[in-house]
Amino acid sequence: MAGFDLTALTASFGGERVIGPLSLTVEAGQQVALVGKSGAGKSTLIKLIYQRVAGHAALVPQELGLVNALPVFHNIYMGRLDEHANWYNALTLIRPFRKDREEIRSLLERLDMKEKLWVPTASLSGGQRQRVAIGRAIYRNAGLLLADEPISALDGPMAHKVMTLLCERFQTSVIALHDVEMALAYCNRIIGIQDGQVALDESSKRLSANDILNLY
Q: Where are the alpha helices (DSSP H) in the chain?
A: 42-53, 72-77, 86-94, 98-110, 126-140, 156-169, 180-186, 209-213
Cα–Cα dist 70/79, whole Å: 14
**Percent of the chain's residues with pLDDT above 90:** 86
Domain boundaries, the chain: 4-67+129-213
Cα–Cα dist 163/170, whole Å: 10
| Predicted local confidence at residue 137, as pLDDT | 98
| Predicted local confidence at residue 1, as pLDDT | 60
Q: How many Cβ atoms sit within 10 Å of the Cβ of residue 188?
A: 15
Any residues with CB less than 8 A from the CB of 113 and at least 6 apart, and which?
Answer: 72, 128, 131, 132, 135
43 in helix, strand or coil? helix
Cα–Cα dist 150/195, whole Å: 22
Cα–Cα dist 152/178, whole Å: 8
The CATH class for the domain spanning 4-67+129-213 reads alpha beta
Chain segment 22-67, per-residue pLDDT in tens: 999 999 999 999 999 988 899 999 999 999 997 889 999 999 999 9
Separation in Å, CA 62 to CA 1, 96, 149: 24, 28, 6
Chain segment 202-211, per-residue pLDDT in tens: 999 999 999 8
